[in-house]
Structure 1
Amino acid sequence: MILATKTVPSPVGELTLAASGEGLVAILWENDDPDRVRLGDRVEQPDHPVLIAAGRQLGEYFDGQRTTFDLPLDFRGSDFQKSVWAALLTIPFGETRSYADIARAIGRPNACRAVGAANGRNPISIVAPCHRVVGTSGSLTGFAGGLDAKRRLLAIEGAPLLI
């Protein structure tokens, strides 16, 4: 299946959006590791309705006008990854959770490292807010878009940060 793509500017760098007929498949960072999210064949299609909606909603988010997203999502991954990504969607705007919190939320309290790995492979960054996941101490931890981008996203949301 060929995915439609569109690149949009943002305060955290250029983002490449990818969609299928089912929904948003990915939001990729400007300097994303090509092995982090494998999308296969893509074609630039800026008029795809999901990409238009995603671009508009991301713009509203960055402008401080949106706290939740209303987009069809087409997560592609293992059942475990999908359970982690679904848990990300429950983290409220402006709040953070630890990897341990997510592990408990999915009923796998001893799977903190696996949760971290799944979080790192989250294909739909920002919308599925992996930036809201922090270390147990509240410290910022790895992020596909880089720690500066993670810090900026959390600042947009007014989330408390440990410096």
Structure 2
Amino acid sequence: MFKKLIKIVTVIALLLIVIIGCWAGYMKFEEIQRDRAQLTFLSDVEWEWYDKYKRIQFSQIPILQKTVLRKVNLHKQYAIYATKNPDYTLNARVVFAVKCKPNTSIVTSQTFRDGVPKELKCSSDGESLSYSVRWASKNTDIVWSDNLDGFEVYENFGNWDFSVLDQEITLLKAK
């Protein structure tokens, strides 16, 4: 009777180990798939994690000859790209994964403070719409929130670490 109980307990323990192992393997697979989806979203460029916990990526963009940071929102199907100017002010661009008429602009009903309308621009391949902004201040504790006639973006740049961009600008000033 005791041997039978030990066999049952052993079988149950082995089954639990197999089930937990399968679950852990599946969760790791899901994490890898989610990471891959974010790192390749709307891009032919190779992206790497800059801050994986905050889901911020970076890449050296040869055309721009500078580092670009980005964050992907798979749920809302957009990516936010951030760069800094030589005066350390912040530029940002949001790219929405949506089909559109190539090389066209959409004037939205939203305007800047000076009354100039905000425009969405369609990519040359017709696979995405983008919108860019630039802030005049060097302060990066910015919350970017825009609703461009249904195309919404929200990002708190106060949570981003821009030190790599600042260092890059400083190093370019070497004489």
Do the structures match in fold with TM over 0.5?
no
Larger strand share, 1 or 2: 2
Question: Could you say which structure has the larger radius of gyration?
Answer: 2
- Of structures 1 and 2, the one with the larger relative CO (CA 8 A, separation 6+) is 1
